[in-house]
Amino acid sequence: MKRRAGGVLLHLTSLPSRYGAGNFGPQAYAFADFLKQAGANYWQILPLNYTTDGTGNSPYNSFSAFAGNPLLISPEMLYKNGLLRKSEMEPPSSFPEESAQFVQAMRFKSQILDIAFERFSKKGMDTAFETFKLDHQSWLDDFAFFVVYKKTQSQNPWSQWPVAIRERRQAALDEFRKSCHEAIEREKFIQYIFLTQYMALKHYCNKNGVLLFGDLPIYVTYDSADVWSHPNLFKLRRDKKPQFIAGVPPDYFSKTGQLWGNPVYDWYANACTGYRWWMDRLGHNLKLFDLLRIDHFRAFEAYWQVPYGQKTAIGGAWVEGPGKWFFEALFRQIPQAPLVVEDLGFITPGVRELIRMYDFPCMNVLQFAFDGDPRNTHLPHNHIRNSIAYTGTHDNMTTTGWYKDEIDAATRKRLTDYLGKKLSAQTVAWEMIRLAMASNAHLCIVPMQDILKLGSSARMNNPATSKGNWSWRMRPNALKASTARRLRHLMELYGRC
């Protein structure tokens, strides 16, 4: 982030596709072309982690911190590589265009991956696949075992598994690996295909001047391969149930706080290993992305932990995090790690000092700017250069929806006064985009929903609710040359391309 730049936030599942959710297929390449035409340098996406219906299909709530989401694998690319026939690519029914159908899409994807794996296996040993397994064995073996064994247990959480597997007794692990070798290899194959397709897309984006900007959730799900295989790194009871769970106190998004349900880290135990699991995780993600945002960064300074069993986050407490000791270890191992920090919510002087110490770029969100305080750090005239200006994030309402449905008359007046012109629901999105582009911040990121001037139905996520999130999709033919030209005009006008 040494020069001014601009980009667009659009998760891959939000791309058009005939397969129920967006993926690494032709529409992803078309979007990269759109970004190039628009003069955008960055494509920001949400985490690529394996999602499930049981966790609301949230990319921030996965049962692996490393594994990719099979939903993102492109049938077209499998066909191109000779692993599917044309007739095998056809979905069983038409999917709605405007929302992702995660369950049905995953069911179909699983069927075609069975076919692809069988065809791949018949070819005999594949050197690239064998190399992939060796390169990723630190997480891949446990993950593949976890997925396959979970199926034999009716998807019950690992805390309910037979004690020999739950406690990872070597003889029991070896016996299951031997008896289910092919099923375990299938899961490894899926991850191999995921990474191969993703890296091909990344190469195409980079070749066309578009950098991929990823997102790293700070926590992992309790029922995950990571907690099962590394229970010592988390605050668990003797029975391996969580002692505390993560969340945040009451804030802008919720009066009772947010209770996320993830186990919190035992940072002393992590420090005793040199933060090895974390270093592996960050190293893995920094190979996937050109720039990486750490979600809920403030937890490294202090985190909100709530006793297990509480119904809301109100009864939690702040606990000191690893702070600079973690980042000293990180920058010894990865000296030039290109990180951005999410510094929204309750931010203390201690968090600010940690950000300042390592000169991390932070975030400004225009929807938070118009509270009447001219010193509000989200106002464009207060943005620092080493930061990112957003109209809104994936957790915010779309700008049009925010203007129509969320803010009061006083806030609308403050926004109108700041811009010096009258606004309407039809014009507000692009006026806010212009404001973000004009910001002093080195990077400006705009959600695709704002570029398309979409209302509240296009919101990606409401942090205060657990249902109905993550499913918005861009309609086919939404990418217009006129829109790219309009965006490029602002990129050029404000020196971002």
| Domain residue limits, the chain | 5-493
Give me the pLDDT at residue 125, please.
80
Q: What percent of the chain has pLDDT over 70?
A: 100
Which of 223, 395, 431, 450 is catalytic? The answer is 395
Q: What is the pLDDT of residues 153-180, one digit of tens each?
A: 999 999 999 999 999 999 999 999 999 9
- Cβ neighbours of residue 199 closer than 8 Å, sequence gap 6 or more: none
- Residue 11: pLDDT over 90: yes
Q: What is the pLDDT of residues 417-448, one digit of tens each?
A: 999 999 999 999 999 999 999 999 999 999 99
Give me the pLDDT at residue 481, please.
98
Q: Where are the beta strands (DSSP E) in 37-196?
A: 42-44
Give me the pLDDT at residue 255, please.
85
Of the given ranges (20-29, 68-77, 93-102, 381-390), which has the lowest mean pLDDT? 93-102
Tell me if the domain spanning 5-493 has CATH number 3.40.50.2300: no
- Residue 107: pLDDT over 70: yes
Does the annotation mark 239 as catalytic?
A: no
Q: What is the pLDDT of residues 15-42, one digit of tens each?
A: 999 999 999 999 999 999 999 999 999 9
Question: Dmax over Cα atoms in the chain, in whole Å?
Answer: 72
- Rounded to 10°, the helix 481-493/26-37 angle is 40
Which of 76, 226, 301, 342 is catalytic? The answer is 342
Give me the pLDDT at residue 254, please.
78
- Residue 479: pLDDT over 70: yes
Identify the DSSP state of 312. Answer: S
Does the annotation mark 98 as catalytic?
A: no
Does the annotation mark 395 as catalytic?
A: yes
Mean pLDDT throughout 391-409? 98
Give me the pLDDT at residue 346, please.
84
Give me the pLDDT at residue 345, please.
82
Phi, psi at 291, each rounded to 5°: -145, 140
pTM flag (> 0.85): yes
Distance CA 443, CA 6 (A): 5
Q: What is the pLDDT of residues 288-346, one digit of tens each?
A: 999 999 999 999 999 999 999 999 999 999 999 999 999 999 999 999 999 999 999 88
Give me the pLDDT at residue 253, please.
65
